[in-house]
Amino acid sequence: MKHWIHYAALLLLPALALPAAAQQDTKKKDDTKVARATNIDPKPRPATEDPNYIIGAEDVLDISVWKEPELTRTVPVRPDGKISIPLLNDVQAAGLTPLQLGLLITETLRKFLTEPQVTVIVTQINSRRVYLVGEAARPGAYPLLPNMTVLQALSSGGGFTNFAKQRKIYVLRTENGKAVKYPFDYKEVLSGKRPQDNIVLQPGDTIVVP
């Protein structure tokens, strides 16, 4: 009889071990999920490292107020150049650097908070663009990179169609409320004969390829 009891106990051991093994497996999966979650970097990545970058309309900003999660948020810069923040309502952002805007928000929040600490990061640059129109291979809006020239912008646009008049390209720029044309002879610039035509572009410039 004792042998039968011992044999039955041996048969029950694997069955009893299964729930425990299943629990351990579930715990491992949960621990993996937690580990993956904790490895995610919550900090937003800046779109530019330039401390002198001037914020413009349509840029996207991450406003972080230390220990104030209800004030920490990602906001777009409206066409009027302002952003909306709780307690402060509208704040002028366009025309300022991220540091200047952070200091402005900090000083204004002192009316409501004790020693506020504010960080401003530009997460998307949408205000600094140039435009390719006409017989460019890929016309459209392109991000304006630091010190981007006409030749570089044309390269970003994939060159020209078969109908492009490469010697009659020009840059259209608004200066003091007036449209100004800057000629660009692609063939001459490419051969090194007219380097002065390869000007550094400014936000809002339009490169026209006839």
Question: What CATH number corresponds to the domain at position 141?
Answer: 3.10.560.10
pLDDT in tens, 41-60: 457 788 888 888 899 999 99
pLDDT-derived band at 195, boundaries 50, 70, 90? very high
Whole-number pLDDT of residue 161 = 95
* pTM of the predicted protein model: 0.61
Task: Tell whether 109 and 134 lie within a shared domain.
Answer: no
Whole-number pLDDT of residue 51 = 87
pLDDT-derived band at 177, boundaries 50, 70, 90? confident
Domain with 185 in it: 129-209
Q: How many domains does the chain have?
A: 2
Determine which of 9-13, 123-127, 129-133 has the lowest per-residue pLDDT on average: 9-13
Whole-number pLDDT of residue 162 = 95
The residue-averaged pLDDT of 36-42 equals: 45
**pLDDT above 90: residue 130:** yes
**pLDDT above 60: residue 1:** no
* Domain limit, last residue, from 77, 102, 124: 124
Q: Give the percent of the chain with pLDDT over 90.
A: 67
Question: Is 195 among the domain residues?
Answer: yes
Task: Tell whether 84 and 115 lie within a shared domain.
Answer: yes
Supply the Cα-derived Rg of the chain in whole angstroms: 30
CA 194, 195, 198, 202 torsion: positive or negative? negative
**118 in the Ramachandran plot: left (φ > 0), alpha (ψ -120 to 50) or beta?**
beta
Q: Give the percent of the chain with pLDDT over 70.
A: 80
- Closest C-alpha among 59, 62, 123, 65 to residue 95: 59
Task: List Cβ neighbours of 137 (8 Å cut-off, separation of 6 or more).
Answer: 157, 158, 159, 160, 161
Whole-number pLDDT of residue 101 = 97
